[in-house]
Structure 1
Amino acid sequence: METIRELQAYGYIFATIFLAVVMYSYLYHLYRAEKKGTRNYEQYANLALHDNIDDAPIESRTPSNNAKE
């Protein structure tokens, strides 16, 4: 029973560290994309305010945009 608890503790520590690294790397990715100008996240923040069906889209979809994703 003691070894199971030790394995749970090591697993918990590993999962916590792994998820923290993933979160900070994602935040760095968002910061870098905003800084380089590839994405403007303020437009996406306004999406919550301007969400009517007749509002203008945030980005137009072109064939070059589809190729990027």
Structure 2
Amino acid sequence: MAILTLAVNQIIYIVVTLIIALMFALVLWITLNRKAKPHYENEGQRIIDDEDTPGDDSGLSGSRNRHGAE
């Protein structure tokens, strides 16, 4: 009876491991095969901010890219 229990446990372990491996492969496949879509319509262009934003204490104004770096 103990041998049967060990065999069932081993089969369950193999099935769960295969399911986890397939989920990882699916996520990796979707990630690598999706098309690159621009986040903004003006992707690659600089956003011009000519005036200080209200509440902006940094004192920085002028041309900034979308990440806020000068």
**TM, length-normalised to structure 2:** 0.48
| Structure with greater contact order relative to length (CA < 8 Å, sep ≥ 6) | 2
**TM, length-normalised to structure 1:** 0.48
Q: Give the helix-richer structure, 1 or 2.
A: 1
Q: Give the strand-richer structure, 1 or 2.
A: 2
CA radius of gyration, larger in: 2
